[in-house]
Amino acid sequence: MDQIRELDLEELQVEEVDDSSDDDDLHATGYGGAGSTGELTFNTCLASLHTYLGEVEDTHGRMAFLEGGAILNLPLFYLEGVVLFPEATLPLRVIHPNFISAVEKALTQVDAPYTIGVVRVHRDPDNGRPRFATIGTTAEIRQYRRLEDGSLNVVTRGQQRFRLRRRGIDVEGAPCGEVQIIQEDQPLRTPCDALGKLTPLSNLRTHSLSRIQPSIASRPKLHQSRDEDNVSESNSEESFEGALSLTERRIHHSAVDSCYGYDIMDESTSSDDDKFLCLGSSSTSGRQSCKGEEIGGWKKMDFDQFRRVPRAFWPYWVYRMYDSYCLAERASDMWKKIVGASSMDALVRKPGLLSFYIASKIPVSESTRQELLEIDGISYRLRREIELLESVNLIRCKKCQTVIARRSDMLVMSSEGPLGAYVNPQGYVHEIMTLYSANGLALIGLPETEYSWFPGYAWTITDCVTCETQMGWLFTATNKKLKPRSFWGIRSSQVADDMQ
């Protein structure tokens, strides 16, 4: 708060934006992969505190997570241009009497205290009618304050996804609905037996032939000593097969037969199934690829390296494509490179939380964010986010497709990330992505300092030059100590879906 007061005491010194000089100065701060972050002097924690709402009181009540599948009635907030994710912060300025009643109901309800439901609403492009999403998120009221005029300032935090079963209005006029909490899945792991040391060849051969050639498989004491020494590995094979369905087991046996059937050779060749013979080569590459002792024109080779191969229904790399932890590590590495985030090891160990973390902050269009919210399955959500992180490049106006900025222009001005939700005095919530620089925008009116979402910066409305759609705001520093000197806040609801 002391830092905020210092900023307020500074004399307003809004300067005319010089794109050439400011761009050089801004890009030196290094977000989005350019330069060093040492140039940034703004305290990014201030934006995430939503200090423009004034003093708010903690509710001191923390709602336990609801059981998946639970059905309950909740007060609902229908927000245009906003998609709330679990663990994301959502500020609200509640002015309308019906929604004030909804908050008051949430503060006193017994089955889900301090909890409201948030549902995205958008306009049908053909007829302009409102369309309500079927998937929303519960939000816990963490802080609130009642003002003298009866309105409420509220800070909430997303908790759990839900399916909207029906909606309506209660006797007090508060919007409400019946919702069902979505049961989130567990992170997918590659099966522990998908890659490992294969059961000894003699065991596999005997197991295979017992189904195909009973007379051969019944030869006594063929590899009795070897089987006894490797009983633990045989048990591992049996436990692995036991986890497969009947169809998968049949295909697995077929694969084993095809891999090892050709290798049934005369017992006089070798009594030790850890070794096999391969044709030697006079070339250097041949000698390097077939390590072992040379015997005549043949080489004896260690068979262990061929045991560490896939022995599950699918190859190992297929499992890794949907392994939640592998995907989480890949997504976090890409996220750190794009936004310059610090270590994310704690989130990588919790892929579900990481998938919601990235989804709530990735600077994409509103409809794409709703798509991410509706995806069931941690691995599928992470795969979609990786695809977006790889492909997102251009930020365009939704109406006229004018290119506004590029991914390299992204700037993190909040500890919440490059995209966050903010509310204006009239109660409209805007999700904005912050950028170093932007093109094709016109400034409307004079800079204003009142109710600024970023303490120490004045805001000016900006429209698209081509179609005159209100795209967001230009924020300019009110004192010379703050860096960057200026930046842009673009509304995600006005960004086109196609960002390539």
Q: What does the pLDDT read at residue 406?
A: 92
Task: Determine the distance from the C-alpha atom of residue 484 to the mean position of all C-alpha atoms in its chain, rounded to a whole number.
Answer: 28
Q: How many CB atoms lie within 10 A of CB 305?
A: 9
CATH of 2-54+395-494, one of 2.60.40.420, 2.170.150.20, 1.10.10.10, 2.60.40.10: 2.170.150.20
Residues in CB range of 4: below 8 A, 6 or more apart:
46, 51, 455
| Rounded Cα gap, residues 109 and 115, in angstroms | 8
Would 61-181 and 323-392 be classified into the same CATH topology?
Answer: no
Residue 397 structure tokens? 């106006």
| Rounded Cα gap, residues 396 and 499, in angstroms | 7
Residue 38 structure tokens? 């040492």
Q: How many residues are recorded in the chain?
A: 500
**CATH number corresponding to 61-181:** 2.30.130.40
Q: What does the pLDDT read at residue 177?
A: 96
Q: How many CB atoms lie within 10 A of CB 419?
A: 23
Q: In the block, which residue shows the tokens 């229908």?
A: 78
φ and ψ at 213, to 5 degrees? -130, 80
| Rounded Cα gap, residues 301 and 276, in angstroms | 6
φ and ψ at 364, to 5 degrees? -125, 180
Amino acid in the structure at residue 107: L
Q: 100 and 107 in contact (C-beta within 8 Å)? A: no
| Rounded Cα gap, residues 275 and 298, in angstroms | 12
Q: What does the pLDDT read at residue 239?
A: 52
Can you give the three-state secondary structure of the chain, one letter per residue? Answer: CHHHHHHHHCCCCCCCCCHHHHHHHHHCCCCCCCCCHHHCCCCCHHHHHCHHHCCCEECCCCCCCCCCCCEEEEEEEEEECCCCCCCCEEEEEECCHHHHHHHHHHHHCCCCCCEEEEEEEEECCCCCCEEECCEEEEEEEEEEEECCCCCEEEEEEEEEEEEEEEEEECCCCCEEEEEEECCCCCCCCCCCCCEEECCCHHHHHHHHHHHHCHHHHCCCCCCHHHHHHCHHHHHHHHHHHHCCCHHHHHHHHHHHHHHHHHHCCCCCCCCCCCEEEEECCCCHHHHHHCCCCEECCEEEEECHHHCEEECCCCCHHHHHHHCHHHHHHHHHHHHHHHHCCCCCHHHHCCHHHHHHHHHHHCCCCHHHHHHHHHCCCHHHHHHHHHHHHHHCCEEEECCCCCEEEEHHHECCCCCCCCEEEEECCCCCEEEEEEECCCCCEEEEEEEECCCCCCCCEEEEEEEECCCCCEEEEEEEECCCCCCCCEEEEEEHHHECCCCC
| Rounded Cα gap, residues 220 and 101, in angstroms | 83
Q: What does the pLDDT read at residue 318?
A: 75
- CATH architecture group of domain 323-392: Up-down Bundle (1.20)
Per-10-residue mean pLDDT of the chain, 500 residues long, equals: 46 37 35 44 92 90 82 95 95 96 92 94 88 96 94 96 95 93 89 54 48 43 44 46 61 50 38 36 40 46 48 66 91 87 83 95 92 96 94 92 92 91 96 94 96 96 96 95 94 89
Q: How far apart are the first and last CA of the chain?
A: 41
Q: What does the pLDDT read at residue 380?
A: 95
Residues in CB range of 227: below 8 A, 6 or more apart:
200, 202, 203, 206, 234
Residue spans per domain, the chain? 2-54+395-494, 61-181, 195-317, 323-392
Q: What does the pLDDT read at residue 21?
A: 38
φ and ψ at 319, to 5 degrees? -60, -40
- Least Cα distance to 68 among 155, 154, 180 occurs for 180
- Least Cα distance to 378 among 305, 325, 427, 454 occurs for 325
Q: 122 and 141 in contact (C-beta within 8 Å)? A: no
Q: 489 and 475 in contact (C-beta within 8 Å)? A: yes
